[in-house]
């Protein structure tokens, strides 16, 4: 009995001009001939397909970065892959939130700036945006931002009138996060009076980003001694008032 004329594998030259082979096992029998025709005229080998995908991703990442710049949003922290993905997620989330809260909701543009764009400027971790992007309801973005660590850090700084962290832009972001993390860890570990007098008050005054970065790995048990032994280099006067 003669073998079936229905192809099970495409083997030959793809539309990109390279030779290769691809299984047709998951293609419905009735569509296999048209798939073979498409692969031989417009299809791409695995290598060309991967390169095209990378170019498309780079183009999308550049577009997201340009959009973020237009909105006054800072670059994100993370690996190159995380940053690209995070910036796309951030753009999608904010645009969807605008549609849900302003275009279809009862917020105006001023409320959106206050409730979304301004706090979004503080959340610079790519991983945070990647995780937040998993939410199916973009209207909850203001609530997610309010509960984020950067927003809680700002609330603490305002409550205790903490001195602004001073350093390079990268150092300021890092130092600010370390200060808040150390303060919160001490809040949970120490007696309330000890915490208020020997941690929170001096921590609010120490504003050198470099100093906080240097103690990032120190255990909470050492924080009181570190704060008490902080030298003049821990305090930096702000040039701009």
pLDDT at 238: 53
Name the residue with higher pLDDT: 2 or 117: 117
**Residue positions counted in the chain:** 241
* Residue 1 pLDDT greater than 60, yes or no: no
pLDDT at 112: 95
| Distance from C-alpha of 177 to C-alpha of 109, rounded to nearest angstrom | 29
- Pairs from 201-205 (Cβ < 8 Å, separation ≥ 24): 201/160, 202/227, 202/228, 202/230, 203/162, 203/179, 203/227, 204/157, 204/160, 204/161, 204/162, 204/163, 205/162, 205/163, 205/235
Average pLDDT (86-110) is: 93
Task: Give the pLDDT band (50/70/90) at residue 240.
Answer: very low
Task: Give the pLDDT band (50/70/90) at residue 4.
Answer: low
pLDDT at 68: 83
pLDDT at 194: 92
* Residue 134 pLDDT greater than 90, yes or no: no
Average pLDDT (148-173) is: 90
* Residue 57 pLDDT greater than 80, yes or no: no
Task: Give the pLDDT band (50/70/90) at residue 239.
Answer: very low
Task: Give the pLDDT band (50/70/90) at residue 204.
Answer: very high
Flag whether the pTM goes above 0.85: no
Most confident of 76-80, 171-175, 217-221: 217-221
pLDDT at 103: 93
* Residue 81 pLDDT greater than 70, yes or no: yes
- Of the listed ranges 125-134, 188-197, 198-207, the one predicted with least confidence: 125-134
pLDDT at 149: 87
Cβ atoms of 76 and 124 closer than 8 Å: yes
pLDDT digits (tens, 9 = 90+) for 27-43: 888 898 998 889 888 88
Average pLDDT (113-125) is: 91
């Amino acid at each position: 009995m003669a073998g079936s004329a229905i192809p099970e594998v495409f083997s030959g030259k793809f539309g990109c001009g390279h030779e290769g082979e691809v299984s047709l096992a998951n293609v419905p029998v009735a569509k296999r001939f048209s798939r073979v025709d498409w692969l031989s005229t417009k299809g791409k080998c695995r290598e060309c397909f991967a390169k095209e995908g990378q170019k498309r991703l780079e183009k999308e990442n550049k577009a997201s970065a340009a959009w973020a710049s237009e909105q006054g949003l800072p670059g994100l922290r993370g690996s190159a892959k995380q940053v690209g993905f995070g910036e796309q997620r951030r753009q999608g989330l904010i645009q969807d939130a605008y549609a849900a809260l302003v275009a279809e909701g009862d917020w105006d543009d001023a409320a959106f700036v206050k409730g979304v764009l301004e706090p979004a400027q503080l959340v610079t971790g790519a991983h945070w945006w990647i995780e937040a992007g998993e939410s199916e309801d973009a209207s909850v973005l203001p609530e997610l931002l309010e509960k984020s660590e950067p927003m809680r850090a700002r609330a603490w700084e305002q409550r205790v009138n903490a001195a602004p962290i001073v350093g390079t832009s990268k150092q300021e972001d890092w130092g600010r996060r370390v200060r808040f993390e150390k303060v919160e860890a001490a809040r949970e570990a120490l007696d309330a009076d000890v915490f208020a007098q020997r941690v929170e008050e001096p921590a609010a005054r120490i504003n050198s980003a470099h100093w906080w970065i240097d103690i990032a790995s120190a255990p909470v048990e050492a924080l009181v001694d570190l704060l008490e032994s902080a030298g003049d280099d821990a305090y930096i006067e702000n040039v701009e008032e």
